[in-house]
């Protein structure tokens, strides 16, 4: 069995503060340790379930958050900036299942801890084939386009609700429940990590319920940006059209192009809209 583990940071156990999400912020180094520990819980479950290979991708920010010196030595780690497939870097059709750890709810989700979609504040909403989409739908769609099912989503309670809306009965682990965007009731990390391990182990030992998210091709990605300047600049990319003053749209039969183009647009948007603030 070959297992892919994508690890974001906002949904990691114990974390609620934007400062904990960025290099140089107060609590960031400890946040990286907690992120790695949550990842290790899923990796340990995968090997205990009989996995032959586990690949872990650092899916937060510039991809330099997971501690390479603390990650389970049996896995391989993909990290670093400018990964073409971002949160899905390293995933291909040879994997049996994908596990999503540290994931968060989409922008605007009620009581979603550090909720956003792809960027802290530049994206108002993202639509995939006309359906509002957060990172869970986007990445599950990418996995599904390769025939790979999602076997676990771990994050805050709002993320788990979103995952079940997108994927049905996918196993979820809520490591915290949002009181507001920056406040939550936390499951202590040691217990949360054991919950991730147990849920992942159960899922990996019983794949009978796994179903890839099958989205119809061609795929259309529409992005409602927070400024007209970002939309105008992104619309200059060949194949990208402007459908409203703040909205750009792109259609492709290749889902990898959808993910890759979103990454390029996000990089451009960050340069145009960057003010040093995070998560609004």
Contact 162, 115 (CB under 8 A): no
**Can you tell me which residue has the tokens 């994206």?**
123
39 vs 76: CA distance, rounded Å = 12
Which helix (H) or strand (E) covers residue 248, if one does?
strand 247-252
272 vs 58: CA distance, rounded Å = 25
Nearest partner of 6 among 198, 133, 163, 124, judged by Cα: 163
116 is catalytic: yes
Of the residues 82, 116, 179, 278, only one is catalytic, namely 116
Q: What is the DSSP letter of 119?
A: B
Nearest partner of 57 among 96, 11, 9, judged by Cα: 9
Per the annotation, binding residues for Zn(2+) are: 8, 10, 60, 104, 135
Residues with catalytic function: 116
């Amino acid at each position: 069995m070959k297992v892919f583990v994508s690890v974001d940071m906002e949904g990691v156990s114990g974390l609620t503060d934007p400062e904990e999400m960025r290099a140089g912020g107060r609590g960031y180094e400890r946040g990286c340790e907690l992120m790695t520990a949550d990842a290790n819980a899923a990796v340990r479950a995968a090997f205990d379930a009989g996995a032959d290979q586990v690949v872990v991708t650092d899916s937060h920010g510039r991809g330099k958050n997971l501690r390479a010196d603390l990650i389970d030595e049996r896995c391989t780690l993909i990290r670093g900036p400018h990964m073409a497939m971002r949160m899905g870097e390293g995933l291909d059709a040879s994997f049996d299942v994908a596990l999503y750890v540290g994931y968060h709810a989409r922008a605007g989700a009620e009581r979603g801890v550090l909720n956003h979609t792809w960027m802290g504040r530049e994206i108002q909403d993202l639509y995939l084939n006309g359906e509002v989409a957060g990172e869970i739908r986007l990445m599950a769609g990418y996995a599904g386009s390769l025939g790979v099912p999602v076997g676990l989503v771990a994050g805050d309670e709002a993320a788990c609700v979103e995952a079940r809306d997108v994927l049905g009965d996918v196993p979820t682990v809520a490591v915290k429940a949002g009181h507001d965007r920056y406040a939550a009731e936390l499951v202590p990390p040691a217990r949360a990590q054991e919950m991730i391990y147990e849920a992942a182990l159960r899922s990996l030992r019983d794949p009978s319920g796994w179903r890839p998210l099958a989205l119809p091709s061609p795929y259309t990605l529409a992005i409602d940006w927070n400024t007209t300047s970002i939309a105008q600049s992104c619309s200059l990319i060949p194949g990208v059209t402007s459908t409203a003053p703040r909205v750009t749209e792109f259609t492709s039969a290749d889902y990898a192009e959808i993910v890759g183009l979103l990454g390029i647009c996000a990089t451009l948007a960050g340069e145009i809209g960057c003010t040093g603030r995070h998560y609004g």
